[in-house]
Amino acid sequence: MNGELFPRERTVIAPGAVHVPDWLGTERQGELLAACRAWARPPAGLRTVRTPGGGVMTARQVCLGLHWYPYGYARTAVDGDGAPVKPMPPWLAELGREAVTAAYGSPPGPGPGAAYDIALINFYAGDSRMGMHRDAEERSTAPVVSLSLGDTCVFRFGNTASRGRPYQEVELRSGDLFVFGEASRLAYHGVPKVLPGTGPRELGLTGRLNITLRVGGLG
């Protein structure tokens, strides 16, 4: 538990929003990092995201299953090199189910539309940020699963009505799990700060990776 005298505990941040500290062990973090490095390579690799208004996201991104762009999904990297998006690995989809079970105490509901079929992987350098936003391009209401690797960040989790207050700030460290669904599925959230140099040395990652798993329900 990161050598702490008092281990951090599972916490319900808001209805349907659950933080599970240290969910991924050291070995599994390493395996996930190695996979992310492979996915980041071209074609359809890590790219800079530009918004329709001309802004640039400071966190770079690669997608699996379907390619997210502001503000929709495609089967090719339409705002990158145009290559077909890499497939969603079955083991990663299963990890999403395991994560929901760990957070809620039961797996997501059965059915063909319940499988985690989209992954958005964001790489944060030390000065990267993510503004308050909602994950609203999916048709499914299944919970969003967020996994953290590398440097610690301040994760701001807000309300469903606006980007402003009320919100809570949670410290997400390497190996942490955060799941939000149910009443919090469309809550605004963002990353106002990354804390450089705080990741575990044995992981060998400079910066932060956030792996977000979603059920698209897009057919």
| Residue in the block written with tokens 């699996």 | 64
Q: What is the mean pLDDT of the chain?
A: 94
Whether 111 has a pLDDT exceeding 80, the answer reads no
> Mean pLDDT over residues 156-163, rounded?
97
pLDDT single digits (tens) 42-82: 999 999 999 888 899 999 999 999 999 999 999 999 999 99
pTM: 0.94
Confidence class for position 1, pLDDT limits 50, 70, 90: very low
Q: How many helices (H) and strands (E) does the chain have?
A: 2, 13
pLDDT single digits (tens) 77-100: 999 999 999 999 999 999 999 999
DSSP percent split of the chain into helix, strand, coil, nearest 5 = 15, 35, 50
d(Cα 11, Cα 114) in Å, to the nearest integer?
A: 25
More confident residue, 3 or 98: 98
The tokens describing 34, both together, are 């190695």
d(Cα 216, Cα 82) in Å, to the nearest integer?
A: 21
